[in-house]
Amino acid sequence: MFILKIFFRNALSHRLRTGLTILGITIAILAFGLLRTVAGLWHIGVERSLATRLVTRNAISLVFSLPISYYDRIRQVPGVKSVSYGNWFGGVYIDEKYFFANEAIEPQSFLELYPEFILSDDQKQAFIHDRKGCIVGKKLASRYGWKLGDQLILKGTIFPGQWEFVLRGIFRGAEKSTEERVLFFHWDYLNETLKKTVPRRADQVGFYIIGIDKPEQAAQVSQDVDRLFKNSLAETLTETEKAFQLGFASMTGAIMVAIQIVSYVVIVIIMAVVANTMAMTARERIGQYAIFKTMGFKGYHIAGMVFGESLLISITGCICGILLTFPAGHLFGDLLGDYLPSFEVKQSTIYMDLGFGVLVGIVAGIFPTVRAVKIRIADGLRRIG
C-alpha cells in the first residue's frame, strides 16, 4: 500500500499533465479497439461458414453461370446429402443508396441448408407456395418498416426490369452475427421471366450449394463434382463455403491491412507521448532521486518508482479506454447497423488492449529509469532549487 501511495503521489504531482496523458492513452486504446473490431468484421462471413457446406461455381469466374441441368448430376455424386442453387440478383430498392443483398434461390432446399435463418413454419410455407413471394431479414424489415403482405419492387441491374415481390416472411438470425440484411426470392420466378424476355439467359444458375454429412468428405466430394464437368463448356470449381467467403474477403485485403497498420501506428504514437511525459517527469525529479540515493535507496528502488508511475498512468488510461470501447462500439453498431451484421468487441481485442497498455508503460519508462538510476548524487543535488 505504501508503494502505491508513492506511485499515486508522483503521478498526481502534475495533475494536468497526467490527466492529459491518461486522456491520450484512453483515446488511443479506444481507437485501437474499434479499428481492430472493424477489421475483424470483414471476416465474419468466413467465421460463420459451415464445414459441411460446399459452393460450386463456374471455374472461370463467379460472373459466369452454370446450366441448371448440372443439378441432377451433382445430386448423384457419392457423399452429397442435399443440393440447392441460386443467382445473385443485384436489384436496387428505390435507388442505389438503398442497396442491400438480394438473391434468387430454390426455397425448400436453401432453407434446409441454412438453418441459421430462422423462419416460422407458416411464413415458410407461405413463401414456398407463392412464386412471387420473398423473405427478408429482421434488420432489413425494420430499416424500411416492411410488414407481411407488403408489395416490394426492385429495379434490376444484372437482370433489367421492374421486379415485383410480396413479402411472405421475416426471418431472424440464429446468432447475433447472422446476416439479417438480405432478401431472398424464388429462382423459378426469375427463370420464368427470363424465358419470356431473354431466353438465352434462362435455365442458368450462378452457384450451387452442396450439403455433405462430414467435413472430412469435402475434398473428395469437391474433386468428384469438378471431375464430372471437366472439359465441358462450363467447367466448375467446388470449394468449401469458408474458402468461398475467403475469396471475397481477399478482394479487400489491402484495406484491412491498412486499417491494421493504422491501429498499430496509434499505439506507437501514444507510446512516444507517454515516453515524453515520463522523460519530463524524470528530469524534474533528478534532485529527488539524488536525495533518495543519499538516504540509502538503491537503483532498483528508483527504477521501481519510475516504472511504477509509468505503468500506473498507462494502465489507468488503458482501462478507461477499454471501458469506453463497449458503449462506443454499441453506438458505432447502431450507426452502421445497415452495413455491418454485428459490432461485437472480442475478448482477444481486450487482451491486446491490456497487453499494449502494459507495453506502453514499460517502454515509456525505460529511458527515464536509465537516466534516474545513473545520475550521480552530486549532479542531482546541484539541481535542487
In this model, does residue 39 exceed pLDDT 60?
yes
207: closest CA among 67, 118, 121, 86?
A: 86
Candidate ranges 46-50, 151-155, 371-375; pick with highest mean pLDDT? 151-155
Q: Taking Cα atoms as reference points, which of 86, 89, 62 lies closest to residue 210?
A: 86
pLDDT at 135: 96
E strand segments, the chain: 53-58, 66-67, 80-88, 92-93, 101-105, 117-118, 133-137, 151-156, 161-173, 182-186, 204-205, 207-212, 236-240
Instruction: Check whether 253 has a pLDDT greater than 80.
Output: no
pLDDT band per the 50, 70, 90 thresholds, residue 5: low
Question: Distance between CA 330 and CA 332 in Å, rounded?
Answer: 5
pLDDT band at 7 (very low <50, low <70, confident <90, very high): low
Average pLDDT over residues 325-336: 73
